[in-house]
Structure 1
Amino acid sequence: MRGREQPAQPSGGGGEGGGGGEKKPVVETTVGRVPLYRLFAFADRTDAVLMAVGATTALANGMAQPLMTFIFGDVIDAFGSTSSADVLHSVVKVIMNFVYLAIGAGLASTLQVSCWTITGERQAARIRALYLKAILRQDIAYFDMELSTGQVVERMAGDTFLIQDAIGEKVGKSIQLLSTFIGGFIIAFARGWLLALVMLSSIPPIVVAGAIVSRLMISLSTRIQAKYGDAGNIVEQTLGAIRTVVSFSGEKQAIMSYNKLIRKAYESALQEGAVNGLGLGSVMAVLFCSYGLAVWYGSKLIVEQGYNGGMIISVIMSVMIGAMSLGQATPSITAFAEGQGAAYRMFKTIERQPDIDIYDTTGITLEEIKGHVELKDVYFSYPTRPEHLVFDGFSLQVPSGTTMALVGESGSGKSTVISLVERFYDPHAGEVLIDGVDIRRMKLTWIREKIGLVGQEPVLFSTTIRENIAYGKENLTLEEIKIAAELANASKFIDKLPNGLDTMVGERGIQLSGGQKQRIAIARAIAKNPRILLLDEATSALDMESERVVQEALNRVMLERTTIIVAHRLSTVKNADVISVLQHGRMVEQGSHVKLMKTPEGGKLVERIRSMTFQNIMRQEINWFDKPEHSSGTIGARLSTDALNVKRLVGDNLALNVQTVSTVISGFTIAMVANWKLAMIITVVVPLVGFQGYAQMKFLKGLNKHAKLKYEEASQVATDAVGSIRTVASFCAEKKVMETYEKISESPIRQGIREGVVSGLGFGFSFLAFYFTYALCFYVGAKFVQHGTATFPEVFRTIALVGESGSGKSTVISLLERFYDPDSGKILFDDVELQTLKVSWLRQQVGLVAQEPVLFNDTIRTNIAYGKQGEASEEEIIAAAEAANAHQFISALPDGYSTIVGERGIQLSGGQKQRVAIARAIIKDPKVLLLDEATSALDAESERVVQEALDQVMVGRTTVVVAHRLSTIRGADIIAVIKNGSVAEKGRHEELMRIKDGTYASLVELSSTSA
């Protein structure tokens, strides 16, 4: 082994033997990512169908919330446009759409989550298997230079977790959110394009923030995973040699080294969290600023463009839901960034074509192999130290059927001969020949099947003795296993074990002694009946008695085989046919034992332990590590996946849970203040949703526990194989490893599919409950309104007063302006008695437009400005004129706004005077507008123009209209019929017309007749 040849070169990622150069911890910090679509490169036809269904239903599910805003706006209008008696009927007609939406969204969300979770599980399992297959395919140089066992475990557990997160449910969620975003703006533009256009201004900064966050997250995620990969390598090494660590009191050093690496990962994670938080905070800040802008501009549209409340609410909610979907996409963007970075590392390995490819089916095979081995003028250096030539024109011949012993000091090249014959490496120049044929021309699997290797450190796998022996050859019968055990001198001790051949050997054969392990390894080599036998210090690590027994076994199996022995103990090779002495990569002596008797030889194996692990693990007693569930592969996988799960629990998920709890508390508080009875009734739904969530969580917990155990078992298979890559390669056992891994992985894949279905059903139920709760809420609310339990503040409503002359209509106007005070009774202004208010302040809140507009003998500008206390700017005057539909005719006058109107406005027509009077009322921005037969003295055309102006300025204000022409007040919220100083009838136009022999109906009929 090269660890003995070059003491400064500890073993690399290959496990039982390393590269020839100084092997430093592998640190891969290259920042790279695959395109997003490449994450799905390993999807099959079933996955394509699942993704298509998942994408379609995600699009449908995403449209549900924007459609909800459409329904929401209609519900608002239904509450506000009918009387209390009819509100239930109107609301029920609308909320049935919520029921249909609930059913559709529930079904769509179920399929969305189920399909994406299932396909994510399937593809991640396939990537794990392909990655392991690709790892097993690589040549030994790759493990020397690129990768360690711990990093393989980290990537199979940690990186595939990130990839699965990026190709599973997060994809469905992102499609849903994108659909919500697009759908929200489509509906917003359909309902009110002006307001939607203004709110669209928030999107560019959100997109920029998302792009910056995504780029930074990929860089940081790659750096973090690289550090965790190195830490995983240290865990595997430490736990694999736990007895040595404990015997040298190396726990503290291990903990310090491990903590040093994860501290670096933690520092990068802090930066990742800060970037993520800053990105989300920026998005939310922009969103809430845009909401404020929308409310302000929406009020202007109501006043100036004739929008109604339902339209404004629908537009704001549509854009709000659409824009917030971008904010909610931050976890998905993070997952995609991390998945792209993880996939870059894994896909790079999957697609790598090794120079020495075990899956290459080309190459020749010999009809009969005699076993003549020759190294001819070989030049070779290890990949880790290309500048240091181990062999510089080295040649060696081992005739068929002879035993050649290689001896020499550490670093002389003995084990390098073994590695070249096994074709773990190819020489840079020269040839390695078997029966005169360059082994590079031979089919790799075929030649390795003809070679048996027994190393100093026997590598056994965490399974039974039977399986370990059968590892040497496919379809080995029980009889052949027993013969191999007998030849290896292992039958006696196996028969004494309680379970015989079915005894579990533990991780790396920990349950057996050194001699027992070595004899099992020899039996495994014998089982393949090799023509060439390579013994790399097969007895050097054994005690005297074990060495004697193992040597007896070796002597038996060496007969009639070409054998190459590497040994430090010369006593074990004195019977070799030829002994070759190597020094600094050259053969300095060759001959029999007798001939070379006087040559001193000796050596010492220096084992360097690089061990780091987690503190609590290091505190455990030795018997804790003997348990299968505490193997290095299992613990390595747990450190990767459990740490990621905890990170998500206390990171994004904890923040989301805190946000959810805060939202629930705030919402419940506001609901209780608004109407506690309605709030308590709706709260009944909460336990039902909570129970569903609890039941789903318990069920998934059971599934996850079983799947987790199986994944840990599969991780141990991968750890064993990669940690013993030379053994796997020499026995061509890659296929067996993959079959074992895939068989164990079948169960967690099935569990993952079940988990996807259960998660989908739970997600679907939550949407079903969400929209049904809306429907229930509005239904109960409508019931409360019908029975008077719930009321809405009647602000910004238009009340029309009609009746015969002298009935008291204009008197109401006079009392509201406080031209007079009532003899008895009260007039309330926002629930405050009118007489208690300061008169000048009150009249500033009220705008009056009378039948006969009174203008002063001054300019139009001065008359309009008269309505405002203090100076009025030119812009304010023009804005008031535009709102009153007067700017156009004023601008057409020769002197414009400087035109003198004459005494009582004699220079203007009736319609022009009225519009100037309306502008004068508007400029004071009154909260209450009083219109006392403002159009009754005008001709038809002037009345039309003035009425258009009035319709605009009445929006967003409480308006009291006195009118004789009933056609002008049909759209009023309330029409009050005044008769003899009393309210005889009250209601909307449609309601009053249904009253048989009603006063209002009679007035309408009379008005129609006179017209």
Structure 2
Amino acid sequence: LVRPMASTGSSAPCGCLCLPRAFLAWLGTALLFLADWVLLRPALPWISSLLLPPEPPLLRVWVVGLSRWAVLWLGARSVLRTTVDFPGGGTGLRGWLAALEPLAAALGLALPGLAAFRELGSGAADSTRLLHWGSRLDAFALGYAAALPAAALWHELRSLWLQRGHGGSGVIVSRLLGCLGSEIHRFWLLLTLVVLSSLGEMSIPFFTGRLTDWILQDRAGGAFTQNLILMSILIIASAVLEFVSDGIYNSTMGHVHSHLQGEVFQAVLRQETEFFQKNQTGAITSRVTEDTSTMSESLSSELSLLLWYLVRGLCLLGFMLWGSASLTMVTLAALPLLFLLPKKLGKWHQVLAAQVQESLAKSSQVAIEVLSAMPTVRSFANEEGEAQKFKQKLQEMKPLNQKEALAYAVDLWGTSISGMLLKVGLLFVGGKLVTGGAISSGYLVTFVLYQTQFTEAVQVLLFSYPRVHKAVGSSEEIFEYLDRVPRCPANGSVASVKLDGRVQFQNVSFAYPNRQEVPVLQGLTFTLRPGEVTALVGPNGSGKSTVAALLQNLYQPSDGQVLLDGRPLPEYEHRYLHRQVAAVGQEPQLFGRSFRENIAYGLIQKPAMEEVIAAAVQSGAHSFISKLPQGYDTEVGEAGNQLSGGQRQAVALARALIRKPRVLILDDATSALDADSQSRMESLLCDSTERYSRSVLLITQRLRSVEQADRILFLEGGTIIEEGTHQQLMANKGHYWTMVQTPDRSGAPE
């Protein structure tokens, strides 16, 4: 009983606080609006007329606008502070109230900005007129009607741009632009061309209005023809500029795509070995190629529309404000009605259309079930029953079809009626302005054309911006690869030392990252000496291939260290280390290139043809390569699929031998070679003069090769339990002897 009472008592204060805090927030907003209407609207122009000189009038307009902005901003901050202190339940409320700050900026700066804009072409008289116009009730209401949707749109775009902190669209777009490098100046040129092209397009409405005035005033003549010629020139210039800008844009986005794809692939290649074991090759390839291509193509097409119509809409808005602030305010105030109402009605129609499709699918399922079981239907003489059942399903669809038809009609009606109401409103206000002499009849025609193009631009922006945002958001997965820090030691710097090839495993323990609970090596200690062939044998799963992987620095020991000439492997420079330590596996990976490229793979300096042939002769690959029509320029096929297993091993051996490594790892690398190639390799390892310049780690299933090794290490359970020559281990009759004597020799040397 105590616990529920305590719980109720703790939640009650929150319930008591929620409503008052939210109520105070909305009350503060309402009081701020009343203060702006009752006090600021009449008082600020009056105070400025007392404190400031009448000339220049533009100064008074700016003082009034900035003062209004400052007062409204302070009020908005106080209202927001009320909701910030509110504990819980106010996230949505704070989100909407956050639009108060951009609203204060729009209300305070719109009139001064318009006055400065008009001052450029109309003189100081317009500034004085705008100052008094701003204090009128109708202008006050119209200003709010235009500023509210603008502030809400600004807040929404800003939240999308900055959402998810460091992963917001703004950061991602900045990183995409960073892919341009020194070619970033192209965007400034592109923006200039788009602006000029948009201004050229504005010539059609502009000259249409002027020609209308001349026709009404019977002034058609030489000037009429001259203006038509000038309009044609501007239109052609606009088309040419648009063509050039499209070319520059596509070239720039192509550069972004190729650069980004190369950067992602390079970032993938830097990852540790475990990364490629945890992620499927197909998924990595898809991220590098398909995801970057899809993102680039989507971003390229949608961003082009967004950029073009954004510049076009801003230019149109500037021309509209230049000609008539009243008509522009009417247009801006009508934008929510023009787009939000059809959007809501369109969602209703989409929901009903989905329900109709679902009902149709159910009736289709009945038909499919009956037609697939016609022998059963006929044997029970139920054709009429199934037909009635199908008709019943169709009857259930009838009300939905009627609702969908009604929703479709209402959707079309909403779209057309909102456009018609805007046109009627413009003609009503514009007619009064024409009769009052504020604008000409021709400019009213020009403005209507401007307004049509402006609403089209806004509609395209509202349609394309979510797609651009989605394309930008999809690039977050691509940047995951770019930002991923490889879980392997940093590249060392040792690269100029003269190596002997002495390898030491000092108390090495290891478990694979995805199976940390299963130790593979435990306290492993042994040494590979230059001039010796050391054979590593043991049952399957004892850790032999893991030893080879650690020696190639593909993994890092969990404990202990692997030393090469007394230095830990991570201290060596990456390329240098893998020139000195070469490995050949049982199933070596070749690339779909020529024999020469495969043998010289990874070498910075391209080796001479004599070196390539010499390495191939040592490995036994020259005998079959020389018989091919194109010789060493012959393609080996994808992953070497045109070669047998023994031929692939011979080429891989040549790839290792051409490096003249100080440490050579043969992990069952001769299992598929023929007898002659086997004898050649055994001679190369044990009898050639080059054997004294390297250490050899031999992991093999062939008893003959093991017998010829200078030293044999028997590995079991991740530790060395026996060590010696073949004769010594056979005389001891321990684990090695038992493995050799096993009849099937499963997992033992043959």
In the alignment, is the contact (CA less than 8 A) between 2:342 and 2:415 conserved in 1? no
2:626 equivalent to 1:486: no
In structure 1, distance between residues paired with 2:619 and 2:711 = 24
- Of 273, 297, 303, the match for 2:425: 297
In the alignment, is the contact (CA less than 8 A) between 2:338 and 2:419 conserved in 1? no
**Which amino acid is 2:184 matched to?**
A
Structure 1 residues 421 and 32, CA gap change in structure 2 (3 angstroms): farther
Q: Could you say which residue in structure 2 is the equivalent of 1:518? A: 649
Q: How does 1:523-534 map to 2 (within 5 A)?
A: 523-534=654-665
**Which amino acid is 2:268 matched to?**
I
Q: TM-score, normalised by structure 1?
A: 0.46
**Structure 1 unaligned spans of 5+:** 1-29, 213-280, 606-1011
Q: Could you say which residue in structure 2 is the equivalent of 1:321? A: 453
Structure 1 residues 182 and 588, CA gap change in structure 2 (3 angstroms): same
Q: How does 1:326-345 map to 2 (within 5 A)?
A: 326-329=458-461, 332-333=464-465, 336-345=468-477
Structure 1 residues 364 and 591, CA gap change in structure 2 (3 angstroms): same
In structure 2, distance between residues paired with 1:289 and 1:572 = 91
In structure 1, distance between residues paired with 2:339 and 2:558 = 53
**Which amino acid is 2:288 matched to?**
M
Structure 1 residues 585 and 67, CA gap change in structure 2 (3 angstroms): farther
In the alignment, is the contact (CA less than 8 A) between 1:59 and 1:179 conserved in 2? yes
Q: Could you say which residue in structure 2 is the equivalent of 1:201? A: 333
In structure 2, distance between residues paired with 1:603 and 1:550 = 22
Q: Could you say which residue in structure 1 is the equivalent of 2:737? A: 597
Please state whether the residue corresponding to 1:530 is helix, strand or coil.
coil
Which string of whole-angstrom CA distances, capped at 9 and with x for unpartnered residues, describes residues 318-360 of structure 1? 22212222333467535533542343233332344424468x3
Q: Could you say which residue in structure 1 is the equivalent of 2:287? A: 155
2:315 equivalent to 1:178: no
In structure 2, distance between residues paired with 1:323 and 1:315 = 12
2:574 equivalent to 1:449: no
2:197 equivalent to 1:61: yes
Say what the alpha-carbon RMSD is for the aligned residues: 3.5
Q: Could you say which residue in structure 2 is the equivalent of 1:553? A: 681
Shift of 1:525: 0.5
More contact order relative to length (CA 8 Å, sep ≥ 6): 1
In structure 2, distance between residues paired with 1:344 and 1:554 = 53
In structure 2, distance between residues paired with 1:475 and 1:291 = 71
In structure 2, distance between residues paired with 1:402 and 1:284 = 87
Structure 1 residues 211 and 571, CA gap change in structure 2 (3 angstroms): farther
Over the matched positions of the two proteins, sequence identity in percent amounts to: 25
Structure 1 residues 105 and 424, CA gap change in structure 2 (3 angstroms): same
**Structure 2 unaligned spans of 5+:** 1-165, 345-408, 730-735
Shift of 1:382: 1.8
Shift of 1:121: 1.6
- Of 634, 655, 668, the match for 1:503: 634
Shift of 1:205: 7.8
Q: Could you say which residue in structure 2 is the equivalent of 1:36? A: 173
Structure 1 residues 209 and 431, CA gap change in structure 2 (3 angstroms): farther
**Which amino acid is 2:539 matched to?**
E
In the alignment, is the contact (CA less than 8 A) between 2:615 and 2:658 conserved in 1? yes
Q: Could you say which residue in structure 1 is the equivalent of 2:504? A: 374
In the alignment, is the contact (CA less than 8 A) between 2:264 and 2:478 conserved in 1? yes
Q: Could you say which residue in structure 2 is the equivalent of 1:462? A: 592
Which string of whole-angstrom CA distances, capped at 9 and with x for unpartnered residues, describes residues 164-213 of structure 1? 3366565444222111111222222333332321221354589999999x
Shift of 1:376: 1.1
In structure 2, distance between residues paired with 1:209 and 1:550 = 82
Structure 1 residues 211 and 551, CA gap change in structure 2 (3 angstroms): farther
In structure 2, distance between residues paired with 1:454 and 1:282 = 73
In structure 2, distance between residues paired with 1:492 and 1:210 = 77
Q: How does 1:27-176 map to 2 (within 5 A)?
A: 34-45=171-182, 47-82=183-218, 87=220, 91-145=224-278, 147-165=279-297, 168=300, 170-176=302-308
2:531 equivalent to 1:401: yes
Structure 1 residues 303 and 202, CA gap change in structure 2 (3 angstroms): closer
**Which amino acid is 1:584 matched to?**
G
**Which amino acid is 1:73 matched to?**
G
In structure 2, distance between residues paired with 1:282 and 1:354 = 57
In structure 2, distance between residues paired with 1:300 and 1:335 = 37
Q: How does 1:786-805 map to 2 (within 5 A)?
A: none
Please state whether the residue corresponding to 1:453 is helix, strand or coil.
strand
Q: Could you say which residue in structure 1 is the equivalent of 2:131? A: none
Which string of whole-angstrom CA distances, capped at 9 and with x for unpartnered residues, describes residues 103-144 of structure 1? 331232122111111111222222222222222222212222
Structure 1 residues 151 and 295, CA gap change in structure 2 (3 angstroms): same
**Which amino acid is 1:59 matched to?**
V
In the alignment, is the contact (CA less than 8 A) between 1:202 and 1:287 conserved in 2? no
Q: How does 1:206-245 map to 2 (within 5 A)?
A: none
In structure 1, distance between residues paired with 2:410 and 2:564 = 69
**Which amino acid is 1:182 matched to?**
L
Shift of 1:504: 0.9
Shift of 1:518: 1.0
In structure 1, distance between residues paired with 2:224 and 2:637 = 70
Q: Could you say which residue in structure 2 is the equivalent of 1:414? A: 544
Higher helix share: 2
Q: Could you say which residue in structure 2 is the equivalent of 1:536? A: 667
Structure 1 residues 50 and 211, CA gap change in structure 2 (3 angstroms): farther
In structure 2, distance between residues paired with 1:409 and 1:465 = 35
**Which amino acid is 2:482 matched to?**
I
Deviation larger for 324-333 or 372-381: 324-333
Deviation larger for 560-569 or 451-460: 560-569
Structure 1 residues 180 and 402, CA gap change in structure 2 (3 angstroms): same
**Which amino acid is 1:62 matched to?**
S
2:559 equivalent to 1:432: no
- Of 720, 726, 735, the match for 1:587: 720
In the alignment, is the contact (CA less than 8 A) between 2:595 and 2:635 conserved in 1? yes
Q: How does 1:880-919 map to 2 (within 5 A)?
A: none
Shift of 1:471: 1.4
In structure 2, distance between residues paired with 1:211 and 1:505 = 60
In structure 2, distance between residues paired with 1:589 and 1:564 = 16
In the alignment, is the contact (CA less than 8 A) between 1:408 and 1:568 conserved in 2? no
**Which amino acid is 2:654 matched to?**
A
Structure 1 residues 328 and 357, CA gap change in structure 2 (3 angstroms): farther
Q: Could you say which residue in structure 2 is the equivalent of 1:725? A: none
The number of residue pairs the alignment matches comes to 498
Shift of 1:468: 1.0
Deviation larger for 386-395 or 519-528: 386-395
In structure 1, distance between residues paired with 2:444 and 2:631 = 81
In structure 1, distance between residues paired with 2:191 and 2:410 = 29
In the alignment, is the contact (CA less than 8 A) between 2:536 and 2:698 conserved in 1? yes
Which string of whole-angstrom CA distances, capped at 9 and with x for unpartnered residues, describes residues 835-866 of structure 1? xxxxxxxxxxxxxxxxxxxxxxxxxxxxxxxx
**Which amino acid is 2:635 matched to?**
M
Which string of whole-angstrom CA distances, capped at 9 and with x for unpartnered residues, describes residues 875-914 of structure 1? xxxxxxxxxxxxxxxxxxxxxxxxxxxxxxxxxxxxxxxx
**Which amino acid is 2:516 matched to?**
P
Shift of 1:303: 4.7
Deviation larger for 321-330 or 172-181: 321-330
Q: How does 1:755-774 map to 2 (within 5 A)?
A: none
In the alignment, is the contact (CA less than 8 A) between 1:518 and 1:550 conserved in 2? no
Shift of 1:284: 10
In structure 1, distance between residues paired with 2:508 and 2:216 = 94
Q: Could you say which residue in structure 2 is the equivalent of 1:390? A: 520
Structure 1 residues 343 and 315, CA gap change in structure 2 (3 angstroms): same
In the alignment, is the contact (CA less than 8 A) between 1:403 and 1:563 conserved in 2? yes
| Structure number with larger C-alpha Rg | 1
Please state whether the residue corresponding to 2:525 is helix, strand or coil.
strand
